[in-house]
Amino acid sequence: MRRLVSFPVEWACGILISSVRKNGEPREERFELPFDGAVVEYWGQDYTPLAPLSVRISANYASDDIVTRVSLSGAFSLPCSRCLAETGIAIEGDMRYLFTLRDTVDAPDGDTDAIRLDGFRAELEMSPYIWETLILNLPEGALCKEDCKGLCPVCGRDRNARDCGCASDDSDPRLRVLKSLL
């Protein structure tokens, strides 16, 4: 299985700078980005895409800089943190990036990242920023249900399916090891 730890090269999401007008409505582009069977790897685990990533990018000028806003939504599945059953999650992300040719940038506000361009270019390639917006909004874990009983620490069975009858000892496993040594 192909694992993505960065955006796939097939994601070409350029915003033509000449299409961004100095005054007026923000330039808006929409992308449906496929994963082509690859999974996203982050936090040391796999997130299986259940749908293409829906992305909306808007761009407008703020004096001589271009401010872009990346909004995205997606659906993934990942193993339940307690019982490991694949669990579907919906994610949303929203980040702002300011592109500038200036040497020094005043932080626009806490929610906007400033990116210094090293020279004039015709297009802003947004794939790295879409990727960043995606992974920063992936949850570290998920629960298949709020009261998931998890796997039995004694026999390893899924305690949601049936009660395995093992002595229920939910204490800290490290303490159990200590006890067994004493």
In the complex, which residues of this chain contact Zn ion (CB under 5 A)? 80, 82-83, 144, 148, 152, 154-155, 164, 166
Minimal distance, residue 158 CB to Zn ion, in Å:
8
Cα-based torsion angle of the residue sequence 70, 73, 76, 81 in order, rounded to the nearest 10 degrees: 80
Q: Are 45 and 34 in contact (CB under 8 A)?
A: no
Nearer to Zn ion, 29 or 158 (CB): 158
Nearer to Zn ion, 25 or 147 (CB): 147
Nearer to Zn ion, 106 or 147 (CB): 147
Minimal distance, residue 48 CB to Zn ion, in Å:
16
Q: Are 71 and 60 in contact (CB under 8 A)?
A: no
Nearer to Zn ion, 21 or 149 (CB): 149
Pairing of strands 86-100, 112-116: parallel
Residue with tokens 């039995």: 152
Minimal distance, residue 176 CB to Zn ion, in Å:
14
Minimal distance, residue 68 CB to Zn ion, in Å:
38
Residues 6+ apart with CB under 8 A from 179: none
Burial letters for 81-118: b for 16+ Cβ neighbours within 10 Å, e otherwise? bbbebebebebebebbbbbbeeeebeeeeeebebbeee
Minimal distance, residue 153 CB to Zn ion, in Å:
8
Nearer to Zn ion, 138 or 144 (CB): 144
The 10 Å Cβ neighbour count of residue 141 is 13
